[in-house]
Chain A
């Protein structure tokens, strides 16, 4: 049975799509069957980051409306054959993204894949809530910057209240992916440290993706960084994240909750 993973953040531009592509490619390279779904109707970009922008024929809305079968819409990656992409619609209205439609697509994919990765749009509107709706696991992408952390906190509250798991009294397994991290600047007190972000958001750390020119370079070339530049620091961090997602022993001991998070436990329920 497939695991449904949502890559989400609230804020835009923090690296959701880049991380979806990098994690998806790394999971597929380890032999898992992976389907990535772009939920950003009207502003799709996962196809571009994956280098598949010229191969899009059908999209998620076509599948939901019954214009195409899911097999017709899935684009198989040319580098890793277990990696697939379901693009978002660029032209159709996002009102076509319905609760039942998305549920049907996810159910169909669950039978055929090991991982379904939902690339959430920014914001907290329908696209974002539907992307997280069926999630078993969530990767919350955060930059060490005040607005990103505030938005992530809001998204964590939604993961704990608006998902199917939450409604059934279960928990979505949440992980923090700290992206664009510059350890030198953190050391100098110019940006928030990992420990600060972890204490404020109080969810376990999946990986720290260092700020790197390799990420942009790979995007320019239409390759996930884990395929385009697999020995770079960000790629190694993503590979580490994938090993953790697959249940290998966590290296870090989960950080003890600080006084702040004890006093102000997240209440959105």
Chain B
């Protein structure tokens, strides 16, 4: 141990473990054992249905991602629409 590491602020790993577990288990409890309660799968299916009603976008051009954080989670929907479908000319 060097002199510097002795003075370095003591970083504890237990709080990190605690937070990681809380986020992970909140997620796992909704999908494991509950059967059909996978929120992301349901959202993906319904979002795709809505898009298909209005735009003929291929399935693989729609990306749906969920990022779970401790306090805030984000749902990211990325739809790549071919220019032909919008009827608009690309911006100059």
B20 at the binding interface (Cβ < 8 Å): yes
Q: A157-B32, A269-B33 are in contact. Are A186 and B14 (CB under 8 A)?
A: yes
Residues of A within 8 A of B22 (CB): 200, 260, 264
A54 at the binding interface (Cβ < 8 Å): no
B13 at the binding interface (Cβ < 8 Å): yes
B26 contact from A146, A157, A160, A263, Cβ within 8 A: A263
B31 vs chain A, min Cβ distance (A)? 9
Inter-chain CB contacts under 8 Å: number:
59
Proximity bits, B19-39, A CB within 8 Å = 1, else 0: 011101110111011100100
Judge whether B14 and A192 touch: CB under 8 Å: yes
Judge whether B30 and A267 touch: CB under 8 Å: yes
Judge whether A189 and B15 touch: CB under 8 Å: yes
B86 at the binding interface (Cβ < 8 Å): no
The interface size bin for chain B is: 20 to 34
CA of A264 to CA of B24, assembled, Å: 11
Q: A158-B33, A190-B12, A269-B33 are in contact. Are A264 and B25 (CB under 8 A)?
A: yes
Judge whether A146 and B20 touch: CB under 8 Å: yes
A146 vs chain B, min Cβ distance (A)? 5
A153 contact from B13, B15, B29, Cβ within 8 A: B29
Residues of A within 8 A of B20 (CB): 146
Judge whether B29 and A264 touch: CB under 8 Å: yes
| Extra A-B contacts (16), CB below 8 Å, given A149-B21, A196-B18, A268-B33 | A146-B21, A150-B25, A157-B33, A160-B33, A186-B14, A188-B12, A189-B14, A189-B15, A192-B14, A200-B18, A260-B26, A264-B26, A266-B29, A267-B37, A268-B29, A269-B33
